[in-house]
């Protein structure tokens, strides 16, 4: 049997599910296949960064995600011990409670993937994504017009042929898709390996009323981290233990895993139940390219970094966010396929920078040398300071070539994330990124009212929606009067913000013909509209006519 889909996503963890969600949000119904029969019970990534939360907030998911935060997340602190029941070695602030300097309307949420992924799954399905668990891709072939894949139901063994316009490889750090395409990786390689043991036990007596988010265990026999996954006294816990490189969980019996947990807790006869065991490597690698024709790499298939800093999984979510709006416009015929070239041009430099920042944090305990210390950047810069250079940005000269900028001192130049503003919209306080929901956003300064008509004309001429607002009019107030300073505008200027929240174009002041200027800019950014071509699956089964 055969079927068609506009986008086939391989891999159903956080990045694959985020890809499905963002595509569905843009009106594209993707097909996602995940070889496992259920979502993972392992927390893996344990935080959603403020940038990830900013994205989810615009989709109306912030409250639901915060409500699902990990137990004890509000405590934020970390205790270091010889064992949970033994001697304390010290306390320190957790790694995910840094002050992000007011550069966003939201903040960190300490939530594991085991809690976040079901939320992404449910919303993606509700918006029309076709998600199939216990289904694997067993073969694929890409050509100039699309991808032909064979998928198999692992329960029945039945296979189907799927024809897709594009394939997103979200199949993890050992990506079979990347290997088949012959895309190499570069970086520092593997540093160490971790064994994750999920277990159930009542540790109330040994916690002894202490309020911590994580417990670092430091014993000659075992080094690792204990974290509570459920609020109930006899709920689930995770112990992440350091093991020798090359060792996998297959070499650890259930009995041996129980012994490791008892040693970490410091109670030789502790009553516990081992629920599941897995292993993973701490490494630093980046794919040599993120795109091969109709195939695009995202998440761990594109980049792997140490968990220190909490950037890895979040960077993958942001890959998906960057890619979804571009795929949507290309599939609808509103943008030329060349728009997708901007994905590698934008995201690979960000990955290189972020992987380096994760490595620097991983090495902090052994003291950074002078050159390493000079490269270190604060969390707000790592998350919000990226500068894109690609065909999807209309650059300004001169260009200093910087990879990032300090988001607490934003330039507002094209290629940077739109600086945070507090706005009062019809009496309700929102952040500027709350206005970036799905389409291009034109934000005009107080005397730039002519830009609104220009946006309407450009949208009509090009056949794409453009949301347009003028601050300090029609119910939108610049609370701090900061738009001109943060965006580098006069009171007649405007900025064009892309659907991913990055600035595509800036006009410091109103030109003679704003409509012609804006139409020309959008045409350049999208590579010219050209004729609308039907893509595989670009019908009622793939494109949603009335977007949610």
pLDDT at 353 over 90: yes
Q: Containing H/E element for 357?
A: helix 341-362
Q: Containing H/E element for 281?
A: strand 273-287
Count of C-beta atoms within a 10 Å radius of residue 513: 12
The verdict on 202 and 54 lying in the same domain is no
Q: What share of the chain is helix, strand, coil (3-state, %, to 5)?
A: 30, 30, 40
pLDDT at 42 over 60: yes
Average pLDDT, rounded, for the chain: 91
Distance of CA 230 to CAs 47, 199, 201, 224, Å?
16, 11, 11, 19
Task: Give the model's confidence band at 538: pLDDT under 50 very low, under 70 low, under 90 confident, else very high.
Answer: very low
The verdict on 194 and 293 lying in the same domain is no
Distance from chain centroid for Cα 167: 18
The verdict on 426 and 323 lying in the same domain is no
Distance of CA 266 to CAs 72, 85, 203, 263, Å?
21, 5, 11, 5
DSSP three-state, residue 14:
helix
pLDDT at 281: 87
pLDDT at 240: 92
The verdict on 120 and 258 lying in the same domain is no
Q: Containing H/E element for 258?
A: helix 254-265
Is the whole-model pTM more than 0.75?
yes
Residue 46 in domain:
yes
Query: Nearest 5 degrees, angle CA 62-CA 384-CA 343?
Result: 95
Return the structure tokens found at 248: 């996998």
Q: Which domain holds residue 203?
A: 187-283
pLDDT at 250: 67
Residue bearing tokens 């206005």: 435
pLDDT at 444: 97
The verdict on 35 and 148 lying in the same domain is yes
Q: What is the mean pLDDT of residues 35-48?
A: 89
pLDDT at 99: 58
DSSP three-state, residue 244:
coil
The verdict on 160 and 245 lying in the same domain is no
CATH code of the domain in which 61 resides: 3.50.50.60
pLDDT at 245: 66
The verdict on 155 and 302 lying in the same domain is yes
The verdict on 224 and 256 lying in the same domain is yes
> How confident is the model over 245-297, as pLDDT tens digits?
666 666 788 899 999 999 999 999 999 999 999 888 889 999 999 999 999 99
Task: Give the model's confidence band at 534: pLDDT under 50 very low, under 70 low, under 90 confident, else very high.
Answer: very low
Domain ends where: 307, 330, 361? 361
Residue 466 in domain:
yes
CATH code of the domain in which 513 resides: 3.40.30.120
Residue 494 in domain:
yes
The verdict on 348 and 477 lying in the same domain is no
Q: What is the mean pLDDT of residues 374-399?
A: 94
Residue 93 in domain:
no
Q: Are 20 and 32 in contact (CB under 8 A)?
A: yes
Q: How far apart are the first and last CA of the chain?
A: 30
Residue 102 in domain:
no
> How confident is the model over 468-494, as pLDDT tens digits?
999 987 789 999 999 999 999 999 999
Residue 26 in domain:
yes
DSSP three-state, residue 26:
coil
The verdict on 456 and 332 lying in the same domain is no
Residue 123 in domain:
yes
pLDDT at 367: 77
pLDDT at 100 over 80: no
The verdict on 46 and 150 lying in the same domain is yes
Q: What is the mean pLDDT of residues 335-351?
A: 97
Return the structure tokens found at 322: 């960057």
Alpha helical stretches, state H, 463-548: 483-487, 514-525
Residue 377 in domain:
no
Backbone dihedral angles phi then psi of residue 61, each to the nearest 5 degrees: -105, 0
Task: Give the model's confidence band at 234: pLDDT under 50 very low, under 70 low, under 90 confident, else very high.
Answer: confident
Domain ends where: 283, 302, 322? 283
pLDDT at 247: 64
Distance CA 521, CA 528 (A): 10
Distance CA 35, CA 152 (A): 9
> Taking the CA atoms of the chain, what radius of gyration do you get in angstroms?
24
CATH code of the domain in which 275 resides: 3.30.9.10
Tell me which of 107 and 501 has the higher pLDDT.
501
Task: Give the model's confidence band at 193: pLDDT under 50 very low, under 70 low, under 90 confident, else very high.
Answer: confident
3-state secondary structure 174-226: CCHHHHHCCCCEEEEEEEEEEEEEEEECCCHHHHCCCCCCEEEEECCCCEEEE
> How confident is the model over 134-185, as pLDDT tens digits?
999 999 999 999 999 999 999 999 999 999 999 999 999 999 999 999 999 9
The verdict on 217 and 341 lying in the same domain is no
Number of domains in the chain: 3
Domain ends where: 251, 283, 315? 283
Task: Give the model's confidence band at 498: pLDDT under 50 very low, under 70 low, under 90 confident, else very high.
Answer: very high
Query: How many residues belong to the chain?
Result: 548
Distance CA 478, CA 470 (A): 10
pLDDT at 528 over 80: no
């Amino acid at each position: 049997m055969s079927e068609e889909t506009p986008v086939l996503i391989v891999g159903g963890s956080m990045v694959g599910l985020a890809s499905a969600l963002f595509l569905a949000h843009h009106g594209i119904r993707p097909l996602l296949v995940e070889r496992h029969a259920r979502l993972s019970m392992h927390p893996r990534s344990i935080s959603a960064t403020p940038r990830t939360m900013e994205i989810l907030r615009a989709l109306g998911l912030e409250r639901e995600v915060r409500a699902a935060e990990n137990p004890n997340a509000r405590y934020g602190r970390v205790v270091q011990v010889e064992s949970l029941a033994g001697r304390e070695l010290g306390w320190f602030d957790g790694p995910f409670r840094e002050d992000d300097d007011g550069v966003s309307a939201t903040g960190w949420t300490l939530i594991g993937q085991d809690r976040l992924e079901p939320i992404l799954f449910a919303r993606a399905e509700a918006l029309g994504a076709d998600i199939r668990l216990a289904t694997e891709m067993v073969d694929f072939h890409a050509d100039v017009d699309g991808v032909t894949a064979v998928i198999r139901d692992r329960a029945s063994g039945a296979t189907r042929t799927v024809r897709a316009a594009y394939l997103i490889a979200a199949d993890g750090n050992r990506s079979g898709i990347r290997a088949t395409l012959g895309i190499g990786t570069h970086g520092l390689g593997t540093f160490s390996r971790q064994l994750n043991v999920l277990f159930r036990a009542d540790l109330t007596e040994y916690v002894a009323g202490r309020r911590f988010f994580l417990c670092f265990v430091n014993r000659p026999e075992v080094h690792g981290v204990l974290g509570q996954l459920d609020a109930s006294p006899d709920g689930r816990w995770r112990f992440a233990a350091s093991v020798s490189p090359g060792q996998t969980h297959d070499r650890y019996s259930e009995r041996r895993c129980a012994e490791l947990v008892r040693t970490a807790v410091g109670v030789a006869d502790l009553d516990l139940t081992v629920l599941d065991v897995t292993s993973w490597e701490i490494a630093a690698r980046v794919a040599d390219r993120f795109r091969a024709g109709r195939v695009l790499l995202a998440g761990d298939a594109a980049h792997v970094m140490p968990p220190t800093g909490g950037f890895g999984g979040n960077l993958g979510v942001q890959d998906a966010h960057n890619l979804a709006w571009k795929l949507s416009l290309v599939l609808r015929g509103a943008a030329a396929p060349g728009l997708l070239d901007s994905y590698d041009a934008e995201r690979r430099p960000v990955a290189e920078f972020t992987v380096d920042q994760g490595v620097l944090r991983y090495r902090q305990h052994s003291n950074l040398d002078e050159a390493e210390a000079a490269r270190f950047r604060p969390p707000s810069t790592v998350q919000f300071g990226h500068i894109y250079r690609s065909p999807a940005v209309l650059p300004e000269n001169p260009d200093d070539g910087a990879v990032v900028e300090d988001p607490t001192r934003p330039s507002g130049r094209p290629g940077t994330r739109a600086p945070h503003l507090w706005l009062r919209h019809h009496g309700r306080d929102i952040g500027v990124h709350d206005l970036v929901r799905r389409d291009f956003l034109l934000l005009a300064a107080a005397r730039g009212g002519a830009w609104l008509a220009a946006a309407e004309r450009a949208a009509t001429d090009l056949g794409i929606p453009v949301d347009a607002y003028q601050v300090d009019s029609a119910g939108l107030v610049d609370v701090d009067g900061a738009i001109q300073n943060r965006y580098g505008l006069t009171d007649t200027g405007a900025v064009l913000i892309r659907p991913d929240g990055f600035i595509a174009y800036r006009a410091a002041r109103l030109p003679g013909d704003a409509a012609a200027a804006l139409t020309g800019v959008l045409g350049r950014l999208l590579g010219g509209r050209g004729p609308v071509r039907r893509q595989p699956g670009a019908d009622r089964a793939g494109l949603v006519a009335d977007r949610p």
